[in-house]
Amino acid sequence: MLTIAMPKGRIFEEALELLRKAGYALPPEFVESRKLMIDIPEEEMRFILAKPMDVVTYVEHGVADLGIAGKDVLLEEERDVYELLDLRISQCRLAVAGLPNSRLNDIAPRVATKYPNVASSYFREQGEQVEIIPLNGSIELAPLIGLADRIVDIVSTGRTLKENGLVEFETIANVTSRLIVNPVSYRMKDEKIDELVERLAAVIANEEKAVL
Amino acid sequence: MSKLFTFEKPLGMRDTLPFLYNVKKRVRQAMAQELEQWGYEFIETPTLEYYETVGTASAIADHQLFKLLDQQGHTLVLRPDMTAPIARLAASRLYQHGNPLRLAYHANVFRAQQREGGRPAEFEQIGVECIGDGTVTADAEVIRLMIAALENVGLERFAVAVGHIGYVNALFVDVLGNEERANVLRRFLYEKNYVGYRHHVKSLPLSSIDQQRLLKLLELRGGTEALARARELVQTEEGKKAVEELEELWHALKLFGVTETIKIDLPLVSHMSYYTGILFEVYADGVGFPLGNGGRYDELLEKFSCKAPATGFGIRLDRLIEALPEAAADNEIECIVFSQERFAEAIQLAEEQRKKGKKVVLQHIAGIGDIDAYSKRYNITYLLGRAGKEN
């Protein structure tokens, strides 16, 4: 049995699609219910539905063998897990944004973000010493109400930024979802995991060819 | 900092209560028995060492060390592992005439934790160091011994992943030309970031054959067939030598009869610079983290002015206990509760029972707060009232 931790929401749908293409017989609508744990006995799989930031925790502790997590989460959390495959789904980027023509305040440079570790190491590498203000959501508010000059957040289409009158200044990293594996499971369940990775890799390679 | 509660301990420090203490003792004894039967001799070293020597030589990263100052202003460390102190001791005193030295230890080591502060910062490790033997049979012996010791404790489903850092280095230097570029790739493996590794390889100005060689490294997992594939990827002497060593190791482990448990895993890089040859990690069902690891570290003793090859392993006792089937509480303690007039009789009875190997508490009735609660904890024999009368 393989236990797979998945983030709820869009990534989950896209990942299921990939697994189906890889030939895993998953029922068409098993996300409807509010269940947090779903068993698929035919494929000897169990899915755990979790918050994106928590997926890496489940996998690091080995209560889930595998997980699907955005690169943004992996960069933020730096957990001891194998990052085996780039699934090429849920593409977006971690970016620095703010009000147009604004700059970091000299006296009190502040950056608001859901990604305090990523933000602080990025600005440190730029040689800037900034104060990081951790927020849990609606990060775009911070520059509008004068809490911070810059935000570090996920940008996919850029619509939310635009609607709030913000512009993107720099890209920190490109983000896609990754297949992650617990180091112990990677050895104790190596045959099952290698097979899953191989089948998924073939699907991803095919889709890339189709795009080209 | 907020005011400490009186029961608080420093972050990551734990108490060991009687039940766990007994389990630990039993597991430690079973491991130690096997290590001793292979002729390894137990030693102890100090808890405190100099940062400049043992601290910097250790495989444990600087930010994980607990440091303090002695009265002369020297920086000290709480030992973060046992390998570096044993290397110090072997280099300065025990390693002589170029003859192999087999040492074992069980000791608490100290590592400050960066995240989730409750993770243990002090834990017991048990392991061996085989110093002075550069042959592959020494590598095979420590792996075999680790398996034997774990089996002796009763561990059932576990696996040992075996890699060879010399192979990885030879392949990287052969394809990439220099150590600096090799280091970038090695870091991806160390961080277990295979996606990053592949992206980076594809971004390098290399022939597609060379790119494939680097990408195929990630697939070198499994049994002897993985070794055959490994041989095809390297052309240099160093690379071939590493494959030969692994083949020799496999052969030796086959003679020892333990290849079932072994998984070749060439992309395994468990440290950026410490290991010099064959290295391994051990995993068990039911625990999300490796139980322990080991490998060849031929450059460590040099740091203590004595050139000698060495290999060894260390197992974390806390994780091993987590992997074991839950132990039953087998700690029966008898208790004799007496009143003053039958004290002499109680002493005599206790001595008789202790001679039979029983654990016996001798307790004056007047010292007990709540006899009902007390009798739930022990099997009580009452010697109360006038002598000659039971109960």
Distance CA(B113)–CA(B333), nearest Å, equals 38
B83 is in an annotated binding site: yes
Determine the average pLDDT of the residues in B268-291. Answer: 93
User: What's B301's DSSP letter?
Assistant: G
B15 is in an annotated binding site: no
Our CA-based measurement puts residue B103 at a distance from the nearest CA of chain A, in whole angstroms, of 28
Q: Which CATH number is associated with domain A92-174?
A: 3.40.190.10
Tens digits of residue pLDDT in A22-52: 999 888 766 666 788 889 998 999 999 999 9
> Residue for token digits 């508010």?
A141
- Written as six digits, the tokens of B153 are 């404790």
- Written as six digits, the tokens of B198 are 């592949």
Q: How far is CA A26 from the centre of its chain?
A: 23
B342 is in an annotated binding site: no
B82 is in an annotated binding site: yes
> Residue for token digits 């690169």?
A71
Residue B7: the pLDDT is 86
Mean pLDDT for all residues in chain B = 93
Residue B113: the pLDDT is 80
List of E strands, B253-378: 262-265, 278-284, 292-296, 310-316, 334-338, 360-364
Interface mutation target, options B187, B189, B193, B215, chain A, most CBs of A under 10 Å: B193
Instruction: Closest CB to B194: pick one of A61, A84, A182.
Output: A84
**Inter-chain contact B263–A85, Cβ cutoff 8 Å?**
no
Predicted confidence (pLDDT) at residue A61 exceeds the cutoff of 80? yes
**CATH label, B7-157+285-329, candidates 3.40.440.10, 1.20.120.350, 3.30.559.10, 3.30.930.10:** 3.30.930.10
Q: Do residues A178 and A69 touch, judged by C-beta distance below 8 A?
A: yes
Residue B391: the pLDDT is 46
Instruction: Closest CB to B287: pick one of A60, A62, A190.
Output: A62
Same topology between domain B7-157+285-329 and domain B334-383: no
Distance CA(B117)–CA(B12), nearest Å, equals 6
CATH class label, B334-383: alpha beta
Our CA-based measurement puts residue B55 at a distance from the nearest CA of chain A, in whole angstroms, of 24
H helices of B38-135, in order, are 56-57, 83-89
Which residues from chain B sit within 8 angstroms of residue A174, using beta carbons?
Answer: none
Instruction: Closest CB to A188: pick one of B192, B285, B289.
Output: B285
Q: How many CB atoms lie within 10 A of CB B97?
A: 5
Distance set, CA A191 to CA A23, A46, A62 (Å): 17, 17, 17
Determine the average pLDDT of the residues in B25-40. Answer: 97
Residue B387: the pLDDT is 59
Determine the average pLDDT of the residues in B37-43. Answer: 97
Q: List the domain boundaries for chain A.
A: 2-90+176-211, 92-174
Which residues from chain B sit within 8 angstroms of residue A56, using beta carbons?
Answer: none
**What pLDDT band is residue A60 in, cutting at 50, 70 and 90?**
very high
Using a CB–CB cut-off of 8 Å, the residues of A that contact B are 60-63, 80-86, 178, 182-184, 187-188, 190, 194
Q: Which residues contact B370 (CB under 8 A, 6 or more apart)?
A: none
**What pLDDT band is residue A10 in, cutting at 50, 70 and 90?**
confident
Q: Which residues contact B163 (CB under 8 A, 6 or more apart)?
A: B264, B265, B266, B267, B268, B269, B270, B278, B279, B280
Pick from A129, A101, A128, A131: which is nearest to A113 by CA? A131
Distance CA(A65)–CA(A74), nearest Å, equals 16
Distance CA(B329)–CA(B19), nearest Å, equals 7
Q: What is the dihedral of CA A18, A21, A25, A26, to 10 degrees?
A: 30
User: Residue A46 is inside which H or E element, if any?
Assistant: strand A45-50
For B219, the closest chain A residue by CA position comes to A194
Distance CA(B300)–CA(B88), nearest Å, equals 9
What is the ipTM score, two decimals?
0.90
For B287, the closest chain A residue by CA position comes to A62
Q: Do residues B194 and B218 touch, judged by C-beta distance below 8 A?
A: yes
- Written as six digits, the tokens of B86 are 């044993």
Which residues from chain B sit within 8 angstroms of residue A83, using beta carbons?
Answer: 192-196
Same topology between domain A2-90+176-211 and domain A92-174: yes
Which residues from chain B sit within 8 angstroms of residue A194, using beta carbons?
Answer: 221
Q: How many CB atoms lie within 10 A of CB A211?
A: 7
- HSE-CB of B378 using CA atoms within 13 angstroms: 18
H helices of B191-236, in order, are 194-203, 208-216, 224-233
Q: List the domain boundaries for chain B.
A: 7-157+285-329, 158-266, 334-383
Pick from B302, B288, B276: which is nearest to B139 by CA? B276
Using a CB–CB cut-off of 8 Å, the residues of B that contact A are 157, 159, 161, 192-196, 198-199, 221-222, 263, 265, 281, 283-285, 287-290
Tens digits of residue pLDDT in B189-221: 999 999 999 999 999 999 999 999 999 999 999
Residue count of chain A: 212
User: What's B304's DSSP letter?
Assistant: G
B370 is in an annotated binding site: no
Calculate ∠ Cα A183-B309-B99, nearest 5°.
130
- CATH homologous superfamily for the domain A2-90+176-211: Periplasmic binding protein-like II (3.40.190.10)
The residues that bridge with B311 in the sheet, in sequence order, are: B130, B296
Interface mutation target, options A81, A86, A87, A187, chain B, most CBs of B under 10 Å: A187
Tens digits of residue pLDDT in B148-175: 999 999 999 999 999 999 999 999 999 9
For B288, the closest chain A residue by CA position comes to A62
B272 is in an annotated binding site: no
User: Residue A131 is inside which H or E element, if any?
Assistant: strand A131-134
Distance CA(A65)–CA(A179), nearest Å, equals 11
B6 is in an annotated binding site: no
Calculate ∠ Cα B190-B192-B194, nearest 5°.
115
**Inter-chain contact A190–B283, Cβ cutoff 8 Å?**
no
Tens digits of residue pLDDT in B89-107: 999 989 888 899 999 999 9
Query: How many contacts, defined by CB atoms under 8 Å, are there between A and B?
Result: 52
**Inter-chain contact B283–A183, Cβ cutoff 8 Å?**
yes
Residue count of chain B: 391
